[in-house]
Amino acid sequence: MEKETRVLDEVTIRFAGDSGDGMQLTGGQFTNTSAAMGNDLSTLPDYPAEIRAPIGTTYGVSGFQIHFGATEINTPGDHCDVLVAMNAASLKVNLRSLIDNGIIIVNTDGFGDKNLKLAGYTQSPLADGSLSKFQVFQVDITKLTNLALADLNLSQKVVDKTKNFFALGMMYWMFNRTLDNTTAWIIEKFEKKPELVEANTRVMKAGWNYAETTDIFAVKYDVKPAPLTPGKYRNINGNQATALGFVAAAEKANLPLFLGSYPITPATGILEDLAHFKNFGVKTFQCEDEIAGITSAIGASFGGSLAITTTSGPGVALKTEAMGLAVMTELPLVIVNVQRGGPSTGLPTKTEQADLLQAIYGRNGEAPIPVIAANSPSDCFNAAFEASRIALKYMTPVILLTDGYIANGSEPWLIPEVKDLKEIPVKFRKDPVDYQPYLRDETTLAREWAIPGTPGLEHRIGGLEKHIKTGNINYEPENHDAMINLRAAKVEGIAKDIPLAKVEGDESGELLVVGWGGTYGTIKTAVERKRKEGKSVTHLHLRHLNPLPLNVGEILTKYKTILVPEINLGQLIKILREKFLVPAVGLNKVQGLPFRSIEIEQKIDEILGGKQ
């Protein structure tokens, strides 16, 4: 039977299965292939919170959602058009995300009596009519995988690990994707194990051929390339982009790069990625705890490196005294907080935006630190570069906020030309004449950077309050007051060195939606949809959160209502109300998941009603 081909502008697919079913790998391969074929895209890896949840239970379900298209894509999709469910638990957890008349592809082997019981079903959803509003395709993926590999004499454990490639092959056929990119990846990944190269490529091709020859699939779909800006692209996630941003900054500053870090979800990927850049002189130090991570970085900064430390919210809590030390010593340092659900250990594999107040205020004493937030996976590169620039120019620690969603999510990244990246000038003090460690540049208020071992520049810095010039320990009230105000003025002065805030939309109007961090794509999508309907709504997204751009207050006065969506109980909104006395409205969600654009659209409609 000849298959029909339909052209679509955009599609959202969710791969779901047990945590051992390889759904992250499957989704990642589909993503890389789609990026290579020129689609714009956004992804949402959804890891189970339990490390070793019982197999077949809803607690152990792992999902990967990709929204790709021939148009601009800014979110991983509000709902999915296609759900690939490898067992009963993955169907139960993810069915609510599927649109009416959406496609479900199920591995029937995952719907036996035991699987149904573990998932909490009293009867099979494949037989009770509960899926009648969907297009359900039942495929015994496990059996077909076994048949494809019957002659290879592999263990059952190895065979079972390849069945995700059967599902991937079917999806490659359904959406007219090439097998070449994943084939090349398999060959490289298993180059020393030819039997695994054969097994995985054979199973993937078997999935493609099954979809091509079976009568159950009558339609395939084609999603054309998106009109992206010409240039060289790669698919990148937020942690990878953060790592590359620091490498680029170190090169542009002509400094060695040092990372002192303790592994913590979801920030560990930055440590892993930077470990691959030894050829650029990058040093990575996996420490025994969070305190050692930041203090080793402070030591590297003292020695003349661009120094960074990476963590998540619980790790920031442990680093706070040393962050105060970096404030007091006035050494450049970047602290990356890849935010996750809290408090305490919280939800390690889920996303949140609840560390903004911790970043701005969460230290003892008056210890101001600049705060920057990345807004998308690829933007993590720019944010890391900017954080490094500010730290080095102003001799201060800087906090860079990302979050679990953008750290693990991915999108196409237009690789910048090295020549287009601005130089980051760094000047070390060499002349010992009249040197005192806390003498400052009149413009930036930054003290000079003197490397230990430089003749005649021996000096003292540390955590006890220092004399305003000599660096000697000093407890005089007037000196302490002067030093506190100098450090605060230095951070506030950075506002003159950052771009003015720009709105996306009208310069004034009924409603301004203000966001920060990883909510950018969702807010952008919601606002653009409402503007097309004629609504008077504009978007302002903030990268620099401390200090804020100089014109933020002026912008806020030009709109009748301010809406602030946040994945917390209202943190930026507190800052805006305090600084600018605006009667802002909050939209808050703390579910370990990013906003869906429809949620913001509904709030916009609620505020504006019938207003245009």
Q: Residue 612: what pLDDT?
A: 65
Architecture, CATH, for domain 503-608: 3-Layer(aba) Sandwich (3.40)
Spatial separation of the C-alpha atoms in residues 387 and 371, rounded to whole Å:
8
Q: Residue 507: what pLDDT?
A: 96
Q: Residue 22: what pLDDT?
A: 94
CATH number of 4-222: 3.40.920.10
> For residue 124, which phi and psi values (nearest 5 degrees)?
-70, 130
Q: Residue 55: what pLDDT?
A: 86
CA distances from 451 to 430, 456, 458, 465 (A): 8, 11, 9, 21
Q: Residue 56: what pLDDT?
A: 86
Three-class HEC string of 347-402: ECCCCCCCCHHHHHHCCCCCCCCCEEECCCCCHHHHHHHHHHHHHHHHCCEEEEEE
Q: Residue 204: what pLDDT?
A: 98
**Could you write out the DSSP letters of every residue in 534-595?**
T--EEEEEESEEESPPTTHHHHHTTEEEEEEEESSSSSHHHHHHHHH----EEEE--SSSPP
Number of H helices and E strands in the chain, helices first, is 20, 22
Whether 4-222 and 234-420 share one fold: the answer is: no
Provide the 3-class DSSP secondary structure of residue 605. Answer: helix
CATH number of 234-420: 3.40.50.970
How many C-beta atoms surround the C-beta of residue 361 within 10 A? 12
Domains of the chain, residue spans: 4-222, 234-420, 503-608
Kindly report whether the global pTM for this prediction surpasses the value 0.75: yes
- pLDDT means per 10 residues in the chain (612 residues)? 90 95 96 96 90 84 97 96 97 96 97 95 95 97 97 94 97 97 97 96 98 93 94 95 98 98 97 96 97 98 98 98 97 98 94 98 97 98 98 98 97 95 96 94 96 92 93 95 97 98 97 98 98 97 98 98 98 98 96 96 93 67
**Could you write out the DSSP letters of every residue in 489-546?**
HHHHHGGGGSPPP-EES-SSEEEEEEEEGGGHHHHHHHHHHHHHTT--EEEEEESEEE
